[in-house]
Amino acid sequence: MRSLRLDDDLDDKVRRAAAIRNESVSEFLRHAAAQRAEDTLASSVREQFADVAGAVHGGGGRARHSGQAFSDLLAERPPKR
């Protein structure tokens, strides 16, 4: 179990936001804490793999020149009006 202190302004915002969502203040704060924890942990995992993400190159293939092929295709089409 945890407890926390909020300044008057934040306490007022939390109470109003909880009322809008039709939740208790405790429920609102639990959801907010859970979302913040998930976001933080997810970004932590991304950062852990940042040095290796995208480091593997498959050597390319048919998709290697797809950007140029798409540009050529668009250049061939008459403009729509």
Distance of CA 59 to the CA centre of its chain: 30
- 47 near 39, Cβ under 8 Å? no
Please report, in tens digits, the pLDDT of each residue of the chain (81 residues total). 889 999 999 999 999 999 999 999 999 999 999 999 988 887 777 777 777 777 676 666 667 677 777 788 777 767 666
For residue 17, what are the CA distances in angstroms to 22, 23, 30, 34, 45?
Answer: 9, 9, 13, 16, 30
pLDDT at 43 (0 to 100): 77
- This prediction has a pTM of 0.55
For residue 6, what are the contacts with CB-CB under 8 A and spacing of at least 6?
A: 14
